[in-house]
Chain A
Amino acid sequence: METTVATTASQGGVWGGGNQPLRASYGKMMMWFFIVSDALTFSGFLAAYGFSRFKFVDAWPIADEVFTHFPFLHGVPAPMFYVAFMTFILIFSSVTMVLAVDAGHKMKQSKVAMYMFLTIIGGAIFVGSQAWEWATFIKGEYGAVETKGGKILQFLDTEGNRVAIGSFAESMHSTAAEHEPSNGIWFMSGNDQTSYNFEEVKAGFLANDNLLIRTQYLDENGHPTVLSREASIAKIKKDGKLVVEGANLKRNEYGHPLFADFFFFITGFHGFHVFSGVLINIIIFFNVVIGTYERRKSYEMVEKVGLYWHFVDLVWVFVFTFFYLV
């Protein structure tokens, strides 16, 4: 209150410097301002994701059908479990971080070091998990056919289970090979070779009467549309163009390529934040261990890096909701 009382006598006191109306140190305030601007960057990404999703709202992949894997559980669909595990890891590393900050307030050096160490471990597990998630997503599972218009056709049996293209494609001893730099003076770029080409998948599809095609368009119940056998045959003959396995920035066997683009971009940017957070945490950890803050008689650096670390957790809470839940 004393700073808001404007008397002539206090003018020199107000403008002469030394006032701290926010009662926060310069470093902490700047960390807050950085967090605001970084939050706006992430909101920009997530809002752009929402924009693209609204634009193609009747043809957007369902996250539950994309992220169904869990390490060591091959072939057992486990939607949500892995990402829930990652969320817990990150929340828990936030807890150890805030415990480190608290131990810092009480000037307990060894406790700060221990909690910082646990935080670093949590961060490393999270980044590793994300790498696994990416690898699984890039590799793909069933494969799909892309149409001339860039739409995805997936394959089902008559019971409605997904069928991998490898299980029905007919091998035709294709002579096509990937164009490599060693084969030409002017190497531009060659198409990626998939394990089966489109003609092989088409022949296998036509030969198996129990196969159906599922398009990326959602029906009125929000499930992807399954075509009848006749419509499936007509669709693959008329529109089919190439085979897609897994996902990259151009193609995506799970559905719309923009889904994969935003997945790589947003989780990648977040993962990069976690990675740099781990690096900063390691630096601070060693500073704690060698007693820098003990000599400074203040553990405020731990508090500042803690703010950044909690922010990374905060962003993940939103990524989790908008990428996996909604």
Chain B
Amino acid sequence: MGHHEHSLAIFRGRLKFKSIEQKIWGVFIFLSIITIVEVIFGIIKPESLMVPFMSSFEGGFMATMANIFLSPFIFMKPLNLIFIVLTIVKAYYITWDFMHMRDETKALRRMVVWTAIFLICYLVLILLVEGDYIFEVYKNNYVKFDF
């Protein structure tokens, strides 16, 4: 089997390193910067990022479709959206460079990543929709629970 070739570039080849050690430290610095940004945002919580970018569309079928497709911008605080995107970026570099996914075959990579991502997205979608539905039931129906 021998050793695989190690890819020494990140950011789609825009940043090349001379050796594996250098690439590891480079990725570490990048992950640290992201974490520091997250912590700073988490502490100051800028007011402008606390209200969603858009309000939901009213009307017929097309409005419903638009609400679904644009849901991250309609129903989510921009700050939380930023946190989630940064988390996925961090997860990508941990998997690709620390776990050497970059150097595995395409088939192994897809087997692991696509399976997990599909199942996790499905699970999260189902549970969050259900949780929101129960919230609406508690709020709008004649169930006394604040006593």
Residues of A whose CB lies within 8 Å of any CB of B are 20-25, 29, 32-33, 35-36, 39-40, 43-44, 47-48, 50-58, 64, 79-81, 84, 87-88, 91-92, 94-95, 97-99, 101-102, 105, 147-149, 151, 217, 222, 239, 303, 306-307, 310-311, 313-314, 317-318, 320-321, 324-326
Contacts and interface: CB of A to CB of B under 8 A. Distances in A.
The interface residues of chain A, by DSSP majority, are classed as: helix
B75 to A, nearest CB: 11
Contacts of B43: 64, 79-80
Contact of B99 (A44, A91, A307): A307
A80 B35 contact: no
Interface string B103-147: 011011001100110011001100110111011001100000111
A318 B87 contact: yes
A325 B36 CA distance: 12
A325 B28 contact: no
A325 B42 contact: yes
13 contacts: A22-B111, A43-B116, A47-B128, A52-B131, A54-B135, A58-B139, A80-B43, A95-B24, A97-B98, A105-B3, A147-B147, A321-B83, A325-B38
Interface residues of B, number: 55
A319 B108 CA distance: 26
B98 A98 contact: yes
B55 to A, nearest CB: 15
Interface of B: 1, 3-4, 20-21, 24-25, 28, 31-32, 35-36, 38-39, 41-43, 50, 80, 83-84, 86-87, 90-91, 94-95, 97-100, 104-105, 107-108, 111-112, 115-116, 119-120, 123-124, 127-128, 130-132, 134-135, 138-139, 145-147
A288 B131 CA distance: 49
A311 B21 CA distance: 20
A50 B124 contact: yes
Contacts, number: 154
Given A44-B123, A52-B131, A87-B35, 6 more contacts: A48-B127, A50-B131, A55-B134, A57-B131, A310-B99, A321-B86
B83 A326 contact: yes
B104 to A, nearest CB: 6
Given A23-B4, A50-B127, A151 B87 contact: no
A149 B99 contact: no
Contacts of A222: 50
Question: What 7 pairs between A and B have smallest CB-CB spacing?
Answer: A54-B131, A149-B147, A51-B131, A51-B127, A321-B87, A22-B108, A43-B120
A25 B38 contact: no
A39 B120 contact: yes
A273 to B, nearest CB: 15
A285 to B, nearest CB: 19
